[in-house]
A and B are shown apart, each in its own frame.
Chain A
Amino acid sequence: MSLRLLARPLLGAIVFAVCAYLVIPTLIVVPISFTQTDYISFPPEGFSLQWYETFLGAGPWRNATLNSFLVAAISALLATVVGTSAALGLHRLPRALARLAIWIVLLPMVVPSIIMAVALYGAFASLDLIGTRIGLILAHALLTLPFVVINVSAVMQKMDWRMVDAARSLGASPNKAFWKVTLPSILPGVIAGLVFAFLTSFDEVVVALFVTGIDSVTLPVQMWNGIRFEISPAVAAASTMLLLLSIFALAAYGAARRVGRSAPEGMNA
């Protein structure tokens, strides 16, 4: 038993260290964002909000942020509509076919992002879509589609389909049954998918690096340029804002899941 007594604090120490390792790079940006200097220094020298002024004031950072919101909102909506529809369709397929179809729908998540980026760069070049928002929105809708399908499917697997049958047998049209019965019961999954899709698009950098142009720069692209070409603490201010957004989205997703009580266990938890 003495071994057990030793093992517990040891395990605790290891777990604490790993958790610290996971969290440190995420939180370290916060103090840096208040520095007075125009380079990164630690401990930060002085206290100033100048980098938040740079970030929020008129200029490339604000443009990029607004652009990211626009692109993420539209592409997430698009992915949610298409993905919810696909999840409903998958549910009706025979089991063997559904399995294959699921893998096809999940492909955008499996294909490495650099390959998606290069392939889309080539395709968009011939369609004259490079540097346009519509190109990026379509690309992000594709990339976030799997997350919607996963979240909606998970809720559907636990859903009580007899309700829909009952509504139909009471004379509801397929449309009415969908809007009054099916949609409300899968709504938590749909919202969880929407939140996940929004955040995924908002964070996506590799494809955006290839297909955006000077007028469609997104926040991650601006940050990439900031890190590679500027090393300016404005990146820290942007990072802090993104961290807040993540916490907010995580809370929203958690709430949607708790209502759904049945979103997937596992990586999207």
Chain B
Amino acid sequence: MSEFINHGGQSRRAFLVGTAAAGAALLAPAAAQAANERIVYANWGGSWEKAMRRAWADPFTKESGIQVVSASDNSLGRLQAMEQAGKVEWDLMEGLPELARVGAEKGLLEKLDFSIINRDGIMKRPEFFNDYSIPEVIFGRVLIYDKRLPQKPTSWASFWDIKTFPGKRAFYNKVESGILEAALLADGVPADKLYPLDVDRAFKKLAQIREHIIWYTTVTQSEQIMREGQATMGLLADGRALSVKSGGAPVEVAMDVSLLTWSVFVVPKGAPNKEAAMRFLAFVLDEHRQTAIAMAYNYGPVVPAAWKAIPKDRYNLISGGPEAEKTAIFLNADWWTANLQPVTEKFQQWLLG
């Protein structure tokens, strides 16, 4: 750039033109620079991203030559904002089950190409099958607690018992993350009578411990809050909870106090490289890849055949396994899809009020 400064005799106009021209040369469109084929995968980040890379992305790149690039903030809002701005960058996105249905209703998703993706191996739960998504992994939302508490919490009711279990409680600030279910179970609603959720009753129950709640806004933050002892109990995704524990923090995970759910993969409408995204999805559903993720992150495989290669002693650590499924409660994605918007609005009002 020093050449501009040396051209002392130049007129000002030429100076400006020169700057602009040099600038333009440096500004070749970003897309043209990405020579290798790649997919952009919006995910939850943190310890999960590391495990996902080991179990899925790296082997996929090795096999296909397609790079997998991670993006943050895998929210529906962010996707919709991108679509509105006319610039969709993601090829692939993971999210909660509601994502597939709400996203499809709003016309934000591509239909998946099932001539590339083989769904035959997937666990035969009807809610796992639709045109716009495949299930990714099964995971639980579990109770994690500080080992220094005077007693061991045994149920969601312990969560509400500040006297016996002093300290803060960590909740995700997304209403569909099992908060209401935990509140109702703690309030004595039997597990088989949970749905349709009595939303008002749940908020009333939540209000009892309002002052003691720390809301985490990202899932990585949930790990930090428990690791640092900011809260003594939390409702966390089990993979995150186990990651905190294996990191050496003085916490314990009550795997039996758990709400089971699953995550899904979708492909945004207008994804720049949806073809490669479909290939990645096909790759991920392979039984060995499902075993690999279960071993790397303790999330349950959605392909039952994957359990064959998983050692028995890990069964009770991995979500949705033969052991855990007996006591666990599945979150009802149908109810949530139908009620997500009004309940979210109510939740936000409640947070501020």
**Which residues of chain A have a CB within 8 Å of any CB of chain B?**
38-40, 70, 73-74, 77-78, 81, 85, 121, 124-125, 128, 130-134, 137, 175, 178-179, 213-216, 225, 228-231
Q: Tell me if B16 counts as interface (CB < 8 A to partner A).
A: yes
CB-based contact A214/B221 at 8 Å: no
Instruction: Give Cα A121–Cα B85 distance, bound, in whole angstroms.
Output: 8
Contact check, B26 vs A70: say whether CB atoms are below 8 A apart.
yes
Contact between B227 and A39, CB atoms less than 8 A apart: yes
Contacts A125-B84, A178-B12, A231-B46 known; list 12 others, CB within 8 Å: A73-B1, A74-B23, A77-B1, A85-B12, A124-B85, A134-B23, A137-B27, A175-B12, A213-B87, A215-B33, A225-B45, A231-B224
- A229-B45, A229-B46 in contact; A130/B85 too (CB < 8 A)? yes
Q: What are the residues of chain A within 8 A of B46 when measuring CB–CB? A: 229-231
Which residues of chain A have C-beta atoms less than 8 A from B19's C-beta? 77-78, 81
The answer to whether A229 and B31 touch across the interface, beta carbons within 8 angstroms, is no
Instruction: Say whether, besides A77-B19, A213-B89, A231-B223, A132 and B29 are in contact (CB < 8 Å).
Output: yes
Residues in B1-57 with C-beta less than 8 Å from chain A: 1, 4, 8-9, 11-12, 15-16, 19, 23, 26-27, 29-31, 33-34, 40, 44-46
Tell me whether A134 and B72 are in contact (CB under 8 A).
Answer: no
B contact residues around A228 at 8 Å (CB): 72-73, 217-218, 220-221
A130 to B12, CA, bound (A): 31
- Which residue of chain A is the closest to B70 with respect to CB atoms? A60
Which of chain A's residues has its CB closest to B16's CB? Answer: A81
Query: Which residues of B approach A to under 8 Å, CB–CB?
Result: 1, 4, 8-9, 11-12, 15-16, 19, 23, 26-27, 29-31, 33-34, 40, 44-46, 69, 71-73, 84-87, 89, 217-218, 220-221, 223-224, 227, 247
A175 to B9, CA, bound (A): 8
18 CB < 8 A contacts A-B: A77-B1, A77-B4, A124-B85, A132-B27, A178-B12, A213-B89, A214-B40, A214-B71, A215-B30, A215-B34, A225-B72, A225-B73, A228-B73, A228-B217, A228-B220, A228-B221, A229-B45, A229-B72
Report how far A228 CA is from B71 CA in the complex, Å.
Answer: 13
Closest 4 CB pairs of A and B: A215-B30, A125-B85, A229-B45, A225-B72
Contact across chains for B16 and A131 when beta carbons are under 8 A apart: no
Do B27 and A134 touch across chains, with their CB atoms under 8 A apart?
Answer: yes
Kindly report which residue of chain A lies nearest to residue B81, judged by CB atoms.
A121
Residue of A whose beta carbon sits closest to that of B45: A229
- Distance to closest chain A CB from B134 (angstroms): 23
A124 to B40, CA, bound (A): 22
Chain A binding site: helix, strand, loop or mixed by DSSP? helix
Give the Cβ gap from B328 to chain A, nearest Cβ, in Å: 28
- Nearest opposing residue in chain B for A125, CB measure: B85
Residues of chain B within 8 A (CB-CB) of A216 are 30
Contact B31 A215 (CB under 8 A): yes
Residues of B within 8 A of A179 (CB): 8-9
A-chain residues with CB within 8 Å of residue B45 when the two chains form the complex: 225, 229-230
- CB-defined contacts of B220 to chain A, threshold 8 Å: 228-231
Distance in angstroms between the alpha carbons of A178 and B217 in the assembled complex: 56
Rounded to whole Å, the gap between the CB of A222 and the closest CB of chain B is 10
**Cα distance A214–B73 in the bound complex, in angstroms:** 12
Instruction: Tell me which residues across on chain A come within 8 A of B30, comparing CB atoms.
Output: 131-133, 213, 215-216
Question: Total A-B residue pairs with C-beta atoms closer than 8 Å?
Answer: 84
Min C-beta distance of A217 to chain B, whole Å: 9
Residues of chain A within 8 A (CB-CB) of B33 are 215
Please measure, in the bound complex, the distance between the C-alpha atom of A215 and the C-alpha atom of B36, giving whole angstroms: 13
B82 CB, min distance to chain A CBs, angstroms:
8
Task: Please name all residues of chain A whose beta carbon is closer than 8 Å to the beta carbon of B1 when the two chains form the complex.
Answer: 73, 77
Which of B9, B72, B223, B247 has the most chain A CB atoms closer than 10 A to its own CB? B72
Residues on the B chain within 8 Å of A213, using CB: 30, 87, 89
CA distance A248 to B54 in the complex (A): 40
B95 shortest CB reach to chain A, Å? 15
A85 vs B86: C-alpha distance when bound (angstroms)? 36
Give bound CA distance, A215 to B272, whole Å. Answer: 13
Cβ contact within 8 Å between B223 and A131: no
B7 — nearest CB in chain A belongs to which residue?
Answer: A179
A73 to chain B, nearest CB (A): 7
Q: Using Cβ atoms and an 8 Å threshold, which residues of chain A touch B223?
A: 39, 231
For residue A150, give the distance in angstroms from its CB to the closest CB of chain B.
21
Q: Please, how many angstroms separate the alpha-carbon atoms of A191 and B101 in the complex? A: 56
Which residue of the partner chain A has the closest CB to B46? Answer: A230
Q: Which of B4, B33, B220, B247 has most A Cβ within 10 Å? A: B220
Scoring A81, A85, A128, A229 by chain B CB atoms within 10 A of each residue's CB, the highest score goes to A229
Residues on B with C-beta less than 8 A from A38 are 247
CA of A178 to CA of B10, assembled, Å: 11
Closest Cβ of chain A: how far from B39's Cβ, in Å? 11
A41 to chain B: closest CB distance in Å? 9
Residues of A within 8 A of B8 (CB): 179
Distance, CA A93 to CA B227, complexed state (A): 62
Shortest C-beta distance, A216 to chain B (Å), equals 6
A214 touches B27 (CB 8 A): no
Which of A38, A81, A230 has the most C-beta atoms of chain B within 10 angstroms of its own C-beta?
Answer: A230
Asked whether B85 lies within 8 Å of A74 as measured between CB atoms, the reply is: no
A169 to B218, CA, bound (A): 68
Distance in angstroms between the alpha carbons of A121 and B26 in the assembled complex = 23
Q: How far is the CB of B4 from chain A (nearest CB, A)?
A: 8
Instruction: Report A77 CB to chain B, min CB distance, Å.
Output: 6
Q: Are B69 and A214 in contact (CB under 8 A)?
A: yes
Q: Report the bound CA distance from A77 to B87 in whole Å.
A: 28
**Contacting pair B87 A131 (CB below 8 A):** yes
Q: How far is the CB of B84 from chain A (nearest CB, A)?
A: 7
Distance between Cα atoms of A178 and B45 in the complex (Å): 55
Q: Are A175 and B11 in contact (CB under 8 A)?
A: yes
